Amino acid sequence: MNTKLYVANLSYNTSEDQLRELFSQAGHVKSVTRPVDRVTKLARDFAFIEMGTAAEASKAIQSLNGQEVDGREIKVSEARARERDTAGSALDRRGGHHGRDHHIRGDSRSGFGRGSGHRGRG
């Protein structure tokens, strides 16, 4: 088992300090990472917790998965590594390129690309 955990369904009000305190019930917490939305600058609804040992990570899953924190039932599981395509960029869960501008690849999804019947203003 990995020592890194994925914690989902967090309240936006739950702090990294709260998570550190909660997960310390299962053992030594090496790190807490709470990603922030680039646009809104608000905490996302998930976090990554790294425990000191695999046994502590397993204990955290067993004891904290489904526990209510700030009015939300959290989901705790082993973190999985992100898949990479052959160019080394991250792939999202749908298999697409995460964070890439599709216009760069000529993949216009707006309906106004070539062959869409759009004639422009005129």
Domains and CATH numbers, the chain: 4-78 (3.30.70.330)
Q: How far apart are CA 70 and CA 14, in angstroms?
A: 7
pLDDT of residue 81: 83
Q: How far apart are CA 83 and CA 122, in angstroms?
A: 46
- C-alpha pair distances (Å), 65 with each of 10, 85, 100: 12, 31, 33
Q: Which residue has the higher pLDDT, 7 or 98?
A: 7
User: What value does the mean pLDDT take over residues 3-27?
Assistant: 97
Q: Mind listing the pLDDT tens digit for each residue in 80-97? A: 987 665 555 554 444 444
pLDDT of residue 82: 74
Q: How many CB atoms within 10 Å of residue 117? A: 6
Phi, psi of 7 (to 5 degrees): -120, 120
SS (H, E, C) 70-121: CCEECEEEECCCCCECCCCCEECCCCCECCCCCCCCCCCCCCCCCCCCCCCC
Mean pLDDT estimate for the chain: 80
Q: Mind listing the pLDDT tens digit for each residue in 36-79? A: 999 999 999 999 999 999 999 999 999 999 999 999 999 999 99
Task: Dig out the tokens for 76 from the structure.
Answer: 């705790």
Residue 8 clears pLDDT 50, i.e. is over it: yes
3-state secondary structure of 24: helix
